[in-house]
Chains A and B, each alone.
Chain A
Amino acid sequence: MNFERKLNRRSLLKASAAVGATGLASVSMPSVLRAAEPDKPSELIIRAWGGPWVEALKNGVSDPFTEKTGIRIIHDLTEDNEIQPKVWAAVAQNRTPPIHINWDTTTNATKSALRGVCEDLSDLSNLSGTTDLAKPVGVDGYPIVNTYGYVYVLAYRPEAFPDGPPKSYHDLLDPKFKGRIAFYNDGIGFHFPAQVAGGGALEDIPGNMDACWEFVEKIKAQNPLLGEDPDFVTWFQRGEIDAACTISTNALGAKRSGVDIAWTVPEEGAKFDTDGLWIPKGHSESDLYWAREYINSALTQANQQVWLDGLGLPGVVPGLTPPEGLAGDPSYPTKPEDFERLIRISGQIQVENESEWFSKFKQIMQG
């Protein structure tokens, strides 16, 4: 099965040993630094998600970068979807793009890579210390560097499930959950488990997804709410819903803000995916240089540790300590056996078919 990718670490222990010996800080700046160092821009603009997401990036990567280089980091909080047409238009019109670095979902970033708007990052020095997860699938080289993985868990209110966590998405078909379950607007994260729940096989994706759509029809009969990340947290907070298929970080964020919430990976499995960083084309040589340095610094163990503690997600360098309470959690996979229940579909298949899945899901839900 090509869906369960074994996360073989690159055997570059030497590199990590070197990292440990010389101290992380100095290694994050590559050797080029000693040679001609291009002029520093006064600031770099990094697109990020708001709330706990940008807080984590600021503490883990941006602040250390500013401390070291003196370059100010501005976080642009435009949504990943909404920045895309802006960046594409800028590149198409030969303008300087509005951002230096895009923190993006790998699927979205892959579209930009296929379109040819991403700078190549293959020769970042710290890539040698990363796991396989850092390499985007289905594109040449490293137009994107993946920086961590995440799981679309089934988050739920323990109060609504007195007999223990829901075991399957079929549990949500119980009449008492009518109008009290939620999914992403486009169904992202749910298509693959739905394929399993409907009795289909993951190998049939994308050729035959009837099982998925049959199950989505059943879910539609339950009048689910559809929303985006902030909606889920709000709805849990206000007691509007009992369960939702969402990224674990949102559930964790809600939990950290005091909402009674837990999460699980049901028997159908859960979608595993990655986010990454990339640089749009069209920047000056010096801006590009320092933007690459920023991404390089995001791949050091020290910076990954702080950044991903904030997100509660597994990173792409070996030897990270899981945040408190997340060791062994299904949303924090690290060992090969953790991945057995997670579904990973190649980026290429996703990119090529996603729009169709989205519109199919929408059409069922709008019916």
Chain B
Amino acid sequence: MRRYKTSYPISWRFMDVLEAAFALVLPRGGGRLTPYLLLTPAVLLVGTLAVGLLYIGDSSLRVLDRSTFLFSDYWTLENYQRAFSESFTATIIWRSLVGAVIVTAVTLLLAFPYAYVMVRTSSALLRKFLLVALFLPFFIGQVVRAYGWLIILGNQGIVNDALALVGVEPLRLLFNYPAVLFGLVQYMLPFGVLMLAPALTAIPEDIEAAATSLGANWVRALFHVVLPMARPGLIGAGVVVLTLSLTDFAMPAILGGGSQDFVANAIYDQFFRTSDQGFGASLTLILIAVGSMTVGLIFAVFGAGTLALGANRK
């Protein structure tokens, strides 16, 4: 009895008390409720946003009276009718969607090799360097970052100066659709890599080695072994990049020169420039619907990526 007491560390005792308390609150560890209990904090957090959306939904059903700048005290679908009747809405939705798809494809194409060499390189120093390089762009803020691009890609920027040396006339590299997409890819790349990296660390190197030693060249090994195994990560990264690009407003504002607006820019204009919260709110809900349906479609076609792993396995 004495010996038992001394060899039983305090931390274990502490754990025992916790376990007992836990068992008291949740008999059988919560049983089938466990996943729902684990999800509760996250669901509640996102709930603040959902409640915020109720306010937005309410605004979207009220029209602005421009003689008092107050909103109607009754509900109407006028804002939605206006949104769907203007060809402008279709233009910006299409531009945002196409942009988001292109950005996602390019980002994944670039992020995959980046994440791959980051997790597979044998040098710890290189790995840290690649990791830190991912975080570098965050710290200068969007506006200063755009200024940096102006210095590099502007008419009198570094790239055009270099081109001038070989006799090329200055090119307009900024303030067009490709510039917006380029800016978005640069912005999304870190997210893409960081979402992919954990998925790649989970793929044992031996499997790949086995494939190549059995005579598959690296491209085949990549397509038949690595990519399928990294699929959850690819879908996760894809969904993140797609939704964030779809709803971005900074890049089109900064690198689009004012003529390449995405839906979020139109929402910004309504909320902040024309004081029409009602119309802005209806555009917001339309954009959320477009985004959520796209995500739903991706989940339906590709499976729910990383999140469905456990479910698939069972």
Contacts and interface: CB of A to CB of B under 8 A. Distances in A.
Interface residues of B, number: 34
B273 A240 contact: no
Contact of A179 (B86, B92, B157, B172): B172
Given A238-B155, A352-B66, A352-B67, A366 B272 contact: no
Nearest to B86: A363
A366 B259 contact: yes
Contact of A115 (B70, B88, B260, B274): B70
Given A225-B258, A234-B147, A186 B273 contact: yes
Given A239-B156, A366-B92, A358 B69 contact: no
B273 A81 contact: yes
B238 interface: no
Contact of B274 (A82, A358, A367): A358
Contacts of A225: 175, 257-258
A356 to B, nearest CB: 9
Interface in A218-234: 223-227, 230, 234
Interface in A182-231: 185-186, 223-227, 230
A340 B272 CA distance: 33
B7 interface: no
A94 interface: no
Interface string B52-95: 00000000000000111110000000000000001010011000
Contacts of A112: 69
Contacts, number: 83
Contact of A358 (B67, B174, B269): B269
B67 A114 contact: yes
B301 to A, nearest CB: 31
Nearest to A117: B69
Interface in A228-253: 230, 234, 238-240
A67 B157 CA distance: 46
Contact of B88 (A239, A354, A355, A366): A366
Nearest to B156: A239
A106 to B, nearest CB: 14
B154 interface: yes
The B interface, classified by DSSP as helix, strand, loop or mixed, is loop
B124 interface: no
Contacts of A224: 258
A114 B68 contact: yes
A185 B252 CA distance: 12
A365 B150 contact: no
Interface in B140-180: 143, 147, 150-151, 154-157, 172, 174-175
Contact of B150 (A85, A234, A352): A234
Given A225-B258, A226-B258, A352-B66, A240 B154 contact: yes
Contacts of B86: 363
Contacts of A227: 257-258
Contacts of A363: 86, 88
Interface string B253-278: 00001111100001001011111110
A240 B88 CA distance: 28
A111 interface: yes
Contacts of B143: 230
Contacts of A85: 271-272, 275, 277
B156 A82 contact: no
B241 to A, nearest CB: 24
Interface in A330-367: 351-352, 354-355, 358-359, 362-363, 365-367
A366 B8 CA distance: 73
A128 interface: no
Contacts of B172: 179
A226 B257 CA distance: 5
Nearest to B271: A85
Max count, chain A CB within 10 A of own CB: residue among B66, B70, B91, B147: B66
A186 B276 CA distance: 14
A204 to B, nearest CB: 20
A362 B66 CA distance: 19
B144 to A, nearest CB: 11
A240 B272 contact: no
B269 A238 contact: no
Interface string B165-199: 00000001011000000000000000000000000
Given A225-B175, A363-B88, A240 B147 contact: no
Interface in A148-198: 179, 185-186
Contacts of B157: 238
Contacts of B276: 355
Given A185-B269, A366-B91, 7 more contacts: A225-B175, A226-B258, A226-B259, A227-B258, A238-B150, A239-B155, A355-B276
5 contacts: A223-B259, A224-B258, A238-B150, A238-B151, A354-B274
Interface of B: 66-70, 86, 88, 91-92, 143, 147, 150-151, 154-157, 172, 174-175, 257-261, 266, 269, 271-277
Q: Which 9 A-B pairs have the closest CB atoms?
A: A226-B258, A355-B274, A115-B69, A81-B272, A225-B257, A239-B156, A111-B69, A363-B88, A114-B69
